[in-house]
Structure formats: C-alpha cells, structure tokens
Chain A
Amino acid sequence: MTATEARPEAEAPEREIGRERRRKEDQRLITGRTRWTDNIQLPGMLHLAMVRSPFAHARITSIDTTEAKQSPNVVDVVTGQDLAETQGVLINAWPITPDQKTPTHLPVAIDRVAFAGEIVAVVVARSAAEARDAAELVDVEYDELPAALDLKEAATDTVLAHPDLGSNKSAYWVFDSGEAGTGGNVDDAITQARDSGGIVLEREYRQQRLIPAFMEPRSTVVDPTGEQLTVWSATQIPHILRFALAATTGIPESKLRVIAPDVGGGFGGKLQTTPEEWITVALARRTGKPVKYTETRSESLIAAHHGRDQWQKLTLAADREGNVTGLKVQLLADLGAYVSLVGGGVPVLGAFMFNAIYKFPAYHFAVQTVLTNKTWTDAYRGAGRPEATFAIERLMDELAAEVGVDPLEIRERNWIKHEEFPFTTVAGLEYDSGNYEAATARAKEMFGYDELRAEQRRRRESGDPVQLGIGVSTFTEMCGLAPSRVLGQLDYGAGGWEHASVRMLATGKVEVVTGASAHGQGHETAFSQIVADRLGVPFEDVEVLHGDTQVAPKGLDTYGSRSLVVGGEALVKASDKVVEKAKTVAAHLLEASADDLDFSGGRFTVRGTDQGVAIQEIATAVFAAHNLPDGMEPSLDSDATFDPVNFNYPHGTHLCAMEVDTETGALRMRKYVCVDDIGNVINPLIVSGQVHGGLVQGIAQALWEEAVYDDSGTLVSGSFVDYLLPTSADTISFEVDHTTTPSLTNTLGTKGVGEAGTIASTPAVVNAVVDAVRHLGITDIRMPCTPERVWRAIQDAGSGTEPTTGAAAPHFDASTGMEGTVDRTAGAQDGAQQ
C-alpha cells in the first residue's frame, strides 16, 4: 500500500457536475449492439399473436379456434374462458375516490369487449408469422352493443360503456381552496367580479386525445424454465410490474424476476401494466416454454394506452386591471374503457397546477372521470400538468386581450415575485424557489420580443396576408414524484421514494445501482457524474446498473421527472455513507483522528500534513480486510432510500412566433425560444436533449397530433400514415437557455426537466396562432390547429356568423349576459367523434 504518498494539488480532478459529458450509453446504440426485448431469442421459444375485437362494444357469442389450431406450427389457441383465473387481472393503483366505479379489467376478455382492439383470443405458434397467420383463422362471433364514444355524451349516461356499472361516471374529485383553508371561496370571487364591473372570462378548451407513440413497439418475453419466472419487458416500470404481477397472479414476488433491457422510449406510454404482459406470463406458464409477444405498430396505436382527452370548462374572475381574483375549473376526463394503472390520477396530478405561477386568492377544481368504449387512457408526458398549463396560459392571454395589455404584463401582475419564495399556493403546495422575472427577461431578450411585436404591428397595418402571432407560456410544474405521505393522502397505492446502492469494488471501481430504470434519459451518464464527484473517482470508473429486479431489487422506476431529483438524491445519500465508512478506515490507516481528516477529490488527507489515502486504496484495504479498525464490518457498500419531502418546481418562459397565412390557413413556426429554470444542471447536453424532445411533443399536440375515432368507435388514426408524428421537415431548431435558482428540496439543487418542454410548449404555440388572427375576431382554435381549422376559423370570423350568447355551458351564468364560448371553438363541429 502507498497510503501515505502526497499528491500534488494540480491533479485535482475537474468537477463532473455541469460537464457536457458524452453519453456512456451511446457506443452500443450507435453501433447496433442493443438489447431490445424483441431481440431476445431463447431455445424452444414460442410466439404469440393476439386476436383483437374490431368492435368498440360487443358481446362475444362464440369463438371457434378449430381451424386456427390446425394451422402449421400452431401450439395452442386460447380464449379468456380457457385462461380463466390463471390470467390474473389488471390493476388500478390510484382509485381517486372511495366510491370510484372501476370495471374489472381482464387481460383476455371473456364475454364482452369494451373497446376496439381488446384481446379476445391468443395464438401460440413456433414463429411470429405463423401465429399471425393462424390468428386470422380464429372465428369470433359478436353481438354488437351500442357504444359510448363521445366524452360529453358518455357523461350523460345515454349509452353505457359497461352496462353492469349503471353509469359511465367513474369518480368525481374536488379540490376547493375555501374548504382546504388555502384560499377564499371562488364563487364569491366570481360574483364579486360580476357585481363590481370586473372581468369574468368563461372558456371551454379541448385537450384532444393523443398517443404516446414511443418508437420501440412494446414487447414481452417470459422464460419459465428457471426456478424463477423471468420477464423481459419494454417497460418504464419493472419494479411496479413485478409487484402487480405477484399481487394478481399468485406467483410469489420472490419467484419473479423482471428485466427492462434497452427500452426504446416511453413518455408515460410504458408506465403501464398491460394485458399483453399478463398474457405472455400466462402462456409461458401454460406451455412451460419461453414465450415472446411483440406488438405491431398498428396494435400499439390501438391498444397501448392513450393520453390527455379532456374537456376543460374554466371561469376566471379578475378586476379591471387584470388582477386575478379566482379560478374555477371543471373537467371531464375520458378514461376510455378501463381505469388503468394511474387512470383518473392523471387529471388529479393537474389539479394543483391550474394556478401555475400565479397568486390567485381563490381556486376550485373538480374533475369527473368518465368511462367510454375507447382505448383506455393514462399518463402521457406531463400527465395532468400540460392540460392545466394549457388552460391557464391560454386564459392569461385571453385576460390580457380583455384588459388590453401585453400578455407578459398581465402575467407579471399576477405572478409570484422572486423575493416571495418560498410561497404557499392557493392549491396548498409550497414552491421552494424560482425567479419568473429573470427567466422572462432573458427569454424576451433572446426572442427579440419588442422587434417581433413591431413587425406584428406593421403586418397588421399593411394588411399582410401572412400575419405574425407571438405566443407566451410562463409555466411551472410539480414534478419529482413524489412525497410518499402526499401520495397516501391522495389515495395512490404506492409511495414515491427511490433507492440506490453504491458498491466500492476491490479494484477501486464503483458499481452504482439505481431503482430508476432509464429508457433514453441518459441515467448511466448523469448518475456517473454525480457519483464521480461525490466519491472523487474517475467518471469512467463508475458503472450504473438498473432495470433488473435481481440487480436493482428496490425501486419505483422512471416517470414524472423523478429520476434525478428523487433517485439522484438517493445516490448522493448512499455515496455519502460510503465516504463516512471509508473515513473510519482512512483514520485507522493514517493513524489520525477522523476529526482531523479532510475529504476532497477522492482523497482523505490529514489536515496540516501531506499525509493522505485515496478512496480506491481504502476499497482495496477493506477487500483484504487485513488491517481494519476493531469491530468494523469489512465493507464500504451502502444503500439509501430517499423519500422527498416536497415536489419539485421547475419553471420557465417560452416564447413562440408563428406565421399564419390568412388566405390558406397555412402555419409556419418562425422562432421558438425557451428559458427554463431547472435548478443546477448535471449535464447540459442531456438537458438540451430533454428540452428539445419535450418541446416537439408539446408542439405536436398544438399543431398535428390527434387520435380520431369514427362513429362506430374505430380508431381511424391507427397507423403512422394517419397519426401525424412530426418529422424533421415539420420542425425547426430551437433557442434554449436557462436561468438558475437551485431547488431547496434536494442536495444537488436540481429540478426535473423531462416533462418541462412538453408542458410549456403547447399553449405557447396555440397562443401564437390565436394572436396572429385575434384582430379578425378569433379567440380560440381547437387543437390540433391544422391549416383547415385555422382557415375555417378565419372564414367563420369573416362571414358574420352570430356568436353564441348567453349561458353556453351549465355552470356559466346566463344572467350576466356575457358570452359563453362552449363549442364555438373552431373545428368543434368536425364530423369525427372526439
């Protein structure tokens, strides 16, 4: 051992946190050396094909599998009846009210199907192609039932999605600031505004149905040949999957190993426990052979869960100067055919965010979740918070128009000032840090805000057929899910902690185990940077292990922008425990008091001397265990489980310039600037990627994407030909910057970034589109703002059509004589069922 060699200070390693490290993950991915679930081939492996219902709602009268069973290399064909209880059941982890109506969700339907795409039979064959051929031969007879398709109509129970439940209304969840003691009574605020000549805005917005559309189709492989059942799945949540499988199939949790190998994107779409996973497990157990199921893209689009799908009724009260005095929110949220894993919890995640960055004195939120005969919905990037942000940021633009001031000015009048943090909001959350003024000032400067406003005026005045619109979105979000105690208060079925282990190997290398399983976020790189700094070891010497319940036995997985702010903090705590243990050994080896030791750059030194020892040398000494302090356990390895005390609140100011051709409705994004405050940044390169990708998903909601059903409940946007994912040719390059107020809820001062871009960008774009044509009398265009919808809005505005007057929605007060806006939004009368 060379424990006492002095080391020149010049060799102190550069700090890893903040460096634009290139990703450790990339070498494999750019050379095709990948481990997608569908790549797995095992000896004797069998393949599945699903027989899916073409009807949205139907009774299954018979299933004839005879011909399919005689097809070449078919091993078995099973129905729901054949599997019966052995198939388990799919769970809802978040019953948002005690009386929530939750239909039983079987992996393979037995007597009735509740959406087009639901599985009614499964073919097992020696190859995937033979399984699919035979699936065509399964003869299923159905009695078609009336289907509940339109969300608003379903809420009236005219047609029942599940007749035995007696109602489509699943749960009604309310937050009221008056009742919660976090603010005043919103109805009083609205009355006051009406009586005193203030402003009352009544708007209704549509959050269209979206499809997460991760690039890797879902795939599951189950190997029953070992003592443990091994499940590989393209999932965001291997740990939750393991728990739910054990809880519903009777397989002991200790007999289940779940592996999420390379996973090709998720965006919430793989935050799910799926019928296909349960079926693959059931068939592997039934056949005793390894079994694989990989979905086609078309299957993915109809049967993997969808997102958003809400109607939002909003009433905002303000004084004449535009100081908001109250906000009332009433949502209808489409659950689809079943209450899925998070299900009705998605709109509840938005409940605390409609007040956004503002100081509203009174707030009321209510959501009615509704069952329909469409694909079930669940989390999609942002989950609840994009919907809330869209609503309030659209409303603030409307308020600015009403008052006649710049949209940024109206925001500034209402937002929380930087010196007012920490700030407890009307929704009862404590925002720990932020500086909305700084982010906005920087964004305006980068955008050239005043110049673009001047250009907008010039185009207005000259009657340019191409008009310019400027859209603003000053967002915040609650992320870093989540304090377990709060989740418990909200009746969520699990906690929100995260786990980490740090192992010092004998050679001085470090293994880090995290329960947050990545699927594109770059955890291996960012987490290596954190641990390298914390332990003072080289970045290259840190190996991050995740995504296998046998390697990473504890964890709550990756979603809700939680990996860094919750999982990263667990890593910090585990690393610090390693250092504490190493310090005892260092003191022993250096024959010094632990109190006299400094730890820096991976080295313990005796203060005031040149004596020191590196942590790697201590690791080797602990491995040999020849010379340790009396009674010390020969191990530096440490675990930590971190349960956050608060959510995490990134924020930012996004500015978008859109050109609208008023003759054709054609749209062109001219410029997009965002300045996000995500606290301290671990890896700026990874952060930029998260922001860019998030932006495009949010922009896509504003301009392109929509899951459309026809009158019979068939998803007509059921392939990539029809569901419009943006391409490189549709998008532009972005201008991204950051201001920084460190978060106070974690040691590193970081805030989540995974969902920020998506949450912020949608209203920025729609605000810009509306701003471009507002002078024509247009106050809203429904998403996606297609050229057709924009053109129609312009035509309708110019045709002198009478606006809807009086109370257009039940909760709007007709006596005020103010205009309601329900269904006046352009495109609301499109033929397709929404």
Chain B
Amino acid sequence: MVRINLTVDGARVADDVEPRMLLVHYLREKLGKTGTVVGCDTSNCGACTVHLDGTSVKSCNVLAVQADGGEVTTIEGLAQDGQLHPVQEAFRECHGLQCGYCTPGMIMQSVDLLKDNPNPSEEEIRLGLEGNLCRCTGYHNIVRAVQHAAGAGGTQAAGQTEAVQA
C-alpha cells in the first residue's frame, strides 16, 4: 500500500492504495466519484477522462499513485457554485448526449480542447475529440455542442475553472 494525498474536485483527500490501482478505480471505488466511468480496457474510449493538474487525462491510463500531490477535476466538480459549466450547458442545449455514458469524458475533453483552442473549426473539434468514443449521437450534436460552447464563452469559463483549481 502506498499513501497518496491529492485534491479531487476541490476537496483534499488521502488514502492508502495498492500501487497497481488505476486513478479511475480510485475515484470510483474509494471516493465514490461514480460520475467518472469505465468504458473499455485499452484506453480507447475516453469515458473516464478527467483533468489532472489542468490537463485532460484518461484516468484508466494513470495510476492513482501518479496523481499523488496533484489536483483532479472530474465531471462532478465542473459546475461551480451550482452553475453548470458552459460546456455542460451546451451539451444539453444541443442534445449532445443520449445514453450519457460517454458524456462525462466527452465534456471533460471538450473543456480541455477549448482551453487550448478557444475558436476551433469543425475539423479541429473532430480531431480534438478523436480519443473519445460515442455510440449514440454519431458525434453530430457533440460537435454542435462544442461550437455552441465556444460561441458562448466556454473557453473563458474553462479558464476560470483553472483559476479555481489554482
């Protein structure tokens, strides 16, 4: 067992974990952060995407011990003060989700994408979300949602999220 200390969605947490434990399992099983989900076992689907120190990571591809000392934001910590993040709002507005299983990862990746590129073209959005699989939407409305969020200041709010984390 290894002792880790980190911040998850603004709260400081500490646990003894097996060295082999994946960050996604730590979030789900130790912290009850079940908003973040597992969709595959080969790091292809991106359903488990979270932010680690301000950058999106597939939390099935990060060991919990690697997050020691870090700051993790999950889908459950994205809304601030009861206000949805503009990207969350955009996914609802544009019907960018159906079953919702890929949605946490898709939203976290979209927030990261817009942070790096506040005004992406459709092609840049499609390339930026390539590592996140969705089986329901055909991606059409997910792309619309990211465009909508970009137009609605999604990037600015993403920056604010970072500021809160810092």
Interface residues of B in 17-76 (CB under 8 A from A): 18, 25, 28, 32-42, 44-45, 47, 74-76
Nearest CB in chain B to that of A262: its residue: B100
Q: Give A757 to B137 CA distance when docked, in angstroms.
A: 12
Q: Which residue in A36, A298, A520, A731 is a CB contact (below 8 Å) of B98?
A: A520
Question: Do A297 and B79 touch (CB < 8 A)?
Answer: no
Contacts of B131 in A (CB 8 A): 727
Contacts known (A27-B92, A693-B137); A728 close to B143, Cβ less than 8 A: yes
Write the A496-511 contact mask toward B (1 if CB under 8 angstroms, else 0).
Answer: 0000000000000000
Contacts known (A23-B92, A696-B138, A733-B122); A265 close to B42, Cβ less than 8 A: no
Question: Do B91 and A30 touch (CB < 8 A)?
Answer: yes
Question: Do A721 and B44 touch (CB < 8 A)?
Answer: yes
Question: Do A689 and B136 touch (CB < 8 A)?
Answer: yes
Question: Do B137 and A213 touch (CB < 8 A)?
Answer: no
Q: Give A29 to B91 CA distance when docked, in angstroms.
A: 10
- Tell whether B125 is near chain A: CB-to-CB under 8 Å: yes
Contacts of B41 in A (CB 8 A): 296-298, 719
Contacts known (A23-B95, A30-B92, A520-B99); A728 close to B129, Cβ less than 8 A: yes
Q: Give A32 to B125 CA distance when docked, in angstroms.
A: 23
Contacts of A39 in B (CB 8 A): 28, 34
Interface residues of A in 26-51 (CB under 8 A from B): 26-34, 36, 38-39, 41
- Would you give the shortest CB distance from B60 to chain A, in whole angstroms? 10
- Tell whether B140 is near chain A: CB-to-CB under 8 Å: yes
Known: A721-B44, A729-B130. 10 other contacts (CB 8 A): A30-B97, A31-B79, A32-B34, A36-B101, A39-B28, A39-B34, A688-B95, A697-B135, A728-B132, A728-B143
Contacts of A731 in B (CB 8 A): 126, 138-140
Q: Give A729 to B78 CA distance when docked, in angstroms.
A: 26
Contacts of A129 in B (CB 8 A): 18, 25
- Would you give the shortest CB distance from A26 to chain B, in whole angstroms? 4
Q: Which residue in A23, A265, A734 is a CB contact (below 8 Å) of B136?
A: A265
**Interface of A toward B, CB cutoff 8 Å:** 22-23, 25-34, 36, 38-39, 41, 129, 213-217, 262-265, 267, 296-298, 519-522, 685-686, 688-689, 692-697, 719-721, 725-729, 731, 733-734, 757
Contacts known (A264-B99, A734-B140); A30 close to B47, Cβ less than 8 A: no
Contacts of A217 in B (CB 8 A): 38-39
Question: Do B139 and A216 touch (CB < 8 A)?
Answer: no
Contacts of B36 in A (CB 8 A): 32
Question: Do B135 and A29 touch (CB < 8 A)?
Answer: no
Contacts of A296 in B (CB 8 A): 41
Contacts of B92 in A (CB 8 A): 22-23, 26-27, 30
Chain B CB within 10 Å — which of A29, A296, A521, A695 has the most?
Answer: A29
Contacts of B75 in A (CB 8 A): 30-32
Question: Do B141 and A215 touch (CB < 8 A)?
Answer: no
Q: Which secondary structure dominates chain B's binding surface?
A: loop
Q: Give A343 to B32 CA distance when docked, in angstroms.
A: 39
Question: Do B126 and A728 touch (CB < 8 A)?
Answer: yes
Q: Give A521 to B95 CA distance when docked, in angstroms.
A: 11
Q: Give A50 to B135 CA distance when docked, in angstroms.
A: 26
Chain B CB within 10 Å — which of A215, A685, A733 has the most?
Answer: A215
Contacts of B39 in A (CB 8 A): 215-217, 297
Question: Do B40 and A720 touch (CB < 8 A)?
Answer: yes
Q: Give A17 to B136 CA distance when docked, in angstroms.
A: 23
Q: Give A38 to B35 CA distance when docked, in angstroms.
A: 11
- Would you give the shortest CB distance from B8 to chain A, in whole angstroms? 12
Q: Which residue in B33, B135, B138 is a CB contact (below 8 Å) of A267?
A: B135
Contacts of A25 in B (CB 8 A): 100
Q: Give A41 to B33 CA distance when docked, in angstroms.
A: 12
5 nearest CB pairs, A to B: A32-B35, A520-B99, A264-B101, A29-B100, A696-B138
Write the B87-108 contact mask toward A (1 if CB under 8 angstroms, else 0).
Answer: 0100111010111111110010
Contacts of A214 in B (CB 8 A): 99, 101, 135
Contacts of B74 in A (CB 8 A): 32
Question: Do A725 and B103 touch (CB < 8 A)?
Answer: no
Question: Do B35 and A33 touch (CB < 8 A)?
Answer: yes
- Would you give the shortest CB distance from B42 to chain A, in whole angstroms? 5
Contacts of A689 in B (CB 8 A): 95, 98, 136-137, 141
Contacts of B132 in A (CB 8 A): 727-728
- Tell whether B2 is near chain A: CB-to-CB under 8 Å: no
Question: Do A692 and B140 touch (CB < 8 A)?
Answer: yes
Question: Do B138 and A36 touch (CB < 8 A)?
Answer: no
A-B contacts, CB under 8 A, total: 175
Contacts known (A32-B36, A34-B34); A720 close to B84, Cβ less than 8 A: no
Q: What are 20 A-B contacts defined by CB distance under 8 Å?
A: A22-B92, A27-B92, A30-B84, A31-B35, A32-B36, A129-B18, A213-B135, A216-B37, A216-B101, A262-B100, A265-B136, A521-B98, A688-B141, A689-B95, A689-B98, A692-B141, A693-B138, A696-B139, A721-B44, A728-B143
Contacts known (A30-B103, A36-B37, A689-B136); A728 close to B142, Cβ less than 8 A: yes
Q: Give A40 to B48 CA distance when docked, in angstroms.
A: 17
Question: Do A216 and B35 touch (CB < 8 A)?
Answer: no
- Tell whether B4 is near chain A: CB-to-CB under 8 Å: no
Q: Give A522 to B96 CA distance when docked, in angstroms.
A: 12
Contacts of A733 in B (CB 8 A): 122, 140, 143
Q: Give A783 to B107 CA distance when docked, in angstroms.
A: 33
Question: Do B101 and A32 touch (CB < 8 A)?
Answer: no
Contacts known (A22-B93, A30-B97); A36 close to B44, Cβ less than 8 A: no
- Tell whether B127 is near chain A: CB-to-CB under 8 Å: yes
- Tell whether B6 is near chain A: CB-to-CB under 8 Å: no
Contacts known (A31-B84, A214-B135, A215-B99); A721 close to B42, Cβ less than 8 A: yes
Q: Give A731 to B122 CA distance when docked, in angstroms.
A: 11
Nearest CB in chain A to that of B144: its residue: A733
Q: Give A618 to B47 CA distance when docked, in angstroms.
A: 47
Contacts of B47 in A (CB 8 A): 215
Question: Do A31 and B42 touch (CB < 8 A)?
Answer: no
Nearest CB in chain B to that of A685: its residue: B95
Q: Give A757 to B135 CA distance when docked, in angstroms.
A: 13
Question: Do B130 and A32 touch (CB < 8 A)?
Answer: no
Q: Give A316 to B136 CA distance when docked, in angstroms.
A: 36
Nearest CB in chain B to that of A35: its residue: B34
Write the B107-140 contact mask toward A (1 if CB under 8 angstroms, else 0).
Answer: 1000000000000001001110111111111111
Contacts of A263 in B (CB 8 A): 99
Contacts of A696 in B (CB 8 A): 138-139
Chain A CB within 10 Å — which of B39, B88, B126, B139 has the most?
Answer: B139
Q: Give A585 to B44 CA distance when docked, in angstroms.
A: 60
Chain A CB within 10 Å — which of B36, B37, B75, B141 has the most?
Answer: B37
Q: Give A38 to B45 CA distance when docked, in angstroms.
A: 17
Nearest CB in chain A to that of B94: its residue: A685
Nearest CB in chain B to that of A212: its residue: B135
Q: Give A128 to B107 CA distance when docked, in angstroms.
A: 28
Question: Do A30 and B138 touch (CB < 8 A)?
Answer: no
- Would you give the shortest CB distance from A411 to chain B, in whole angstroms? 25
Q: Give A522 to B100 CA distance when docked, in angstroms.
A: 11
Question: Do A720 and B138 touch (CB < 8 A)?
Answer: no
Question: Do A216 and B99 touch (CB < 8 A)?
Answer: yes
Q: Give A217 to B130 CA distance when docked, in angstroms.
A: 20
Q: Give A371 to B102 CA distance when docked, in angstroms.
A: 35
- Would you give the shortest CB distance from A553 to chain B, in whole angstroms? 24
Nearest CB in chain B to that of A266: its residue: B99
Q: Give A227 to B41 CA distance when docked, in angstroms.
A: 37
Contacts of A720 in B (CB 8 A): 40, 42, 44-45, 133
Question: Do B98 and A522 touch (CB < 8 A)?
Answer: yes
Nearest CB in chain A to that of B76: its residue: A32
- Would you give the shortest CB distance from A242 to chain B, in whole angstroms? 22
Question: Do B138 and A695 touch (CB < 8 A)?
Answer: yes
Contacts known (A39-B34, A733-B122); A693 close to B98, Cβ less than 8 A: yes
Question: Do A264 and B44 touch (CB < 8 A)?
Answer: no
Q: Which residue in B34, B35, B40, B125 is a CB contact (below 8 Å) of A728?
A: B125
